[in-house]
Chain A
């Protein structure tokens, strides 16, 4: 079954805490770059981590549509639903 946006947000929080070692809380409205201060390494770890966990492919074009944690979670959930359809 395709994951819900909330499940994706939970995974983003896990990656942020365990892989990126971010100490600040991660809110759905946070911007990846501005608020979470992710650099290109952090963004790559996050993108590849989500791809691996939910078995989807994020394309490079997706970056144009994603600025907040919620944007990313919705995109991943939608893509996962498409791939499983």
Chain B
């Protein structure tokens, strides 16, 4: 199935887009916890970026160098990101540490990502710089670590020298196997043109973007910041940690700035459902909000419905909710539902879906993520690679102008992911009446609150745990019925010599302690229950399928023998007791 023809991009690279935005009257506004605002016109952002670029070149940054950017949502991020771009180097945005979070894992993951892309320099701010010492020490970027502020000291402004490779984004940030997705200028401008076409299709006035999404993540960086520069449009940014602490900031900013387009993963909508108090929305009017994109994690029909019902009182229009589907390897978007139409959901039988890969009607609602975006083609394929008919579950493949240039420095992983221009998304889904439904994942990935996690992160925490059979644990993402989004599922085999009675509780604590993520469901299994490959490796996808299909059973023959053994033991025990009584 094919989207409309690809729109022609207005620019050949992002630096041209920024130069054009600088001629507009718009800019980016930062909102803090107290709703104090700081405005940076695109014209000023451009000048500052040229100063940063000049400073970077003076320092010795060369075309094609990778530069790690570790900054919060603040003007310094804009300075650093565009400064690096204008200098012809490649920005690599990495996530800053979480307050009160676990630092050791953070250092390890950050050092790993810096090393993996061979960053020559890291840019941060004065506060984070003191803290990043350990990560910098472990990864040793050749030119060291600078603050964004120090790059603006010199007044000279560089001319843009755009490099063909534009950006490296990590699809997940962990110590295990993080994948640096390299995107070209063509990928980026094509994606911005696609998003513009989608949003513009129904626009009657100038768009205003509002976002709380992190800038180190595709949806916040490309979908919001770069899109607004390309358009150009005014953009309002709320630091993600402020949104998490006070979700009302988001809706209040939309109302205050008459925001028309704003995106979030499902969990952001459900956070609003749970944590905004009515009185926080006094005087708020959300009727301006035309497109409320929902993507980056499985779309929860439940959360969207509750959101529309709850915030309708403040003028929110249910048809603004626009589920979409995308991934970092596709730059961002693959499909979006048509703007300004009610959410389309299909009720399917989850057992039939998991067992047979067939769509029959039932009680589990899946949201349509719409039709391919402009210039994108989507195909659902079966195991041997044949294209599947409607209503059959298979692997989702896509091709289009924004399929990544490749995984940076990893041609073999790129060759596995992209074959003849087709990207294997690793996601499972089906097509129904010309629309895509995503219903699972064949790749090993757990998406919690929009953040991608490798299952090994969770599994490694359970390795030293007494009572768990070594190596016989799988961590999976699943969407429980009536839940607000994807949740963590742990399937663990107990050790053959027995397990403590509170093993489930211990597993929960170990996972939370090690990763900061809470498990939704922990299932303790008999030894040998989890499916394995012939070489003994865990088959995560198959384990999830069996769990959902209620087919997770211990190996039958072993079980009978063991049961017989237990009966004998128990009979012996009784016999002993009776003997004891007699004696």
Residues of A within 8 A of B (CB): 19, 21, 32-34, 37, 39-41, 43-49, 51-52, 58-64, 66, 72
A-B contact pairs, 30 of them (CB 8 A): A33-B516, A39-B517, A40-B101, A40-B516, A40-B517, A41-B449, A43-B99, A44-B98, A44-B99, A44-B244, A45-B244, A46-B100, A47-B241, A47-B245, A48-B242, A48-B245, A49-B245, A52-B33, A52-B246, A58-B99, A58-B100, A60-B98, A61-B130, A61-B131, A62-B99, A63-B99, A63-B103, A64-B103, A66-B100, A72-B100
Does B433 sit within 8 A of A, measured CB to CB? no
Does B512 sit within 8 A of A, measured CB to CB? yes
**Which partner residue on chain A sits nearest B513 by CB separation?**
A33
Tell me whether B244 and A37 are in contact (CB under 8 A): no
CB distance from B73 to the nearest CB of A (A): 13
Tell me whether B518 and A39 are in contact (CB under 8 A): yes
Cα of A72 to Cα of B99 in the assembled complex, Å = 12
Cα of A19 to Cα of B508 in the assembled complex, Å = 22
- Whether A47 touches B100, Cβ cut-off 8 Å, given contacts A34-B509, A41-B244, A61-B130, is yes
Does B127 sit within 8 A of A, measured CB to CB? yes
Cα of A47 to Cα of B244 in the assembled complex, Å = 11
Cα of A21 to Cα of B130 in the assembled complex, Å = 34
Residues of B within 8 A of A48 (CB): 33, 99, 241-242, 244-246
Partner of A43, one of B96, B98, B513: B98
Tell me whether A19 and B275 are in contact (CB under 8 A): yes
Residues of A within 8 A of B516 (CB): 33, 39-40, 43
Partner of A44, one of B34, B100, B275: B100
Taking CB atoms and an 8 Å cut-off, the chain B residues in 81-99 that contact chain A are 96-99
Cα of A51 to Cα of B97 in the assembled complex, Å = 16
Chain B 124-149, CB-CB to A under 8 Å as 1, else 0, gives 00011011000000000000000000
Tell me whether B99 and A39 are in contact (CB under 8 A): no
Tell me whether B100 and A32 are in contact (CB under 8 A): yes
Tell me whether A44 and B103 are in contact (CB under 8 A): no
Cα of A40 to Cα of B512 in the assembled complex, Å = 9
Residues of A within 8 A of B509 (CB): 34, 37
**Which partner residue on chain B sits nearest A20 by CB separation?**
B275
Does B102 sit within 8 A of A, measured CB to CB? yes
Tell me whether A37 and B102 are in contact (CB under 8 A): no
Residues of A within 8 A of B517 (CB): 39-40
Tell me whether B518 and A60 are in contact (CB under 8 A): no
Cα of A40 to Cα of B451 in the assembled complex, Å = 12
9 additional A-B residue pairs with CB within 8 Å, beyond A32-B100, A47-B241, A48-B33: A33-B513, A37-B508, A40-B98, A43-B99, A44-B241, A49-B245, A59-B127, A61-B103, A63-B100
CB distance from B212 to the nearest CB of A (A): 12
Tell me whether A62 and B100 are in contact (CB under 8 A): yes
Cα of A39 to Cα of B102 in the assembled complex, Å = 10
CB distance from B108 to the nearest CB of A (A): 15
Tell me whether A47 and B99 are in contact (CB under 8 A): yes
Cα of A67 to Cα of B517 in the assembled complex, Å = 17
Cα of A74 to Cα of B157 in the assembled complex, Å = 47
Q: What are the nearest 5 A-B pairs in CB distance?
A: A48-B245, A40-B516, A47-B99, A60-B97, A43-B100
Cα of A35 to Cα of B127 in the assembled complex, Å = 30
Tell me whether A60 and B513 are in contact (CB under 8 A): no
Residues of B within 8 A of A44 (CB): 98-101, 241, 244-245
CB distance from A45 to the nearest CB of B (A): 5
- Whether A60 touches B245, Cβ cut-off 8 Å, given contacts A39-B517, A40-B516, A43-B516, is no
Tell me whether B245 and A33 are in contact (CB under 8 A): no
Cα of A62 to Cα of B100 in the assembled complex, Å = 7
Cα of A41 to Cα of B245 in the assembled complex, Å = 9
Tell me whether B33 and A60 are in contact (CB under 8 A): no
Cα of A43 to Cα of B245 in the assembled complex, Å = 10
Residues of A within 8 A of B241 (CB): 44, 47-48
Cα of A61 to Cα of B518 in the assembled complex, Å = 23
Residue among A32, A46, A59, A72 having the largest count of chain B Cβ atoms under 10 Å: A59
**Which partner residue on chain B sits nearest A59 by CB separation?**
B127
Residues of B within 8 A of A58 (CB): 99-100
CB distance from A67 to the nearest CB of B (A): 10
Residue among A41, A47, A52 having the largest count of chain B Cβ atoms under 10 Å: A41
- Whether A60 touches B242, Cβ cut-off 8 Å, given contacts A41-B449, A48-B33, is no
**Which partner residue on chain A sits nearest B516 by CB separation?**
A40
Cα of A51 to Cα of B99 in the assembled complex, Å = 11
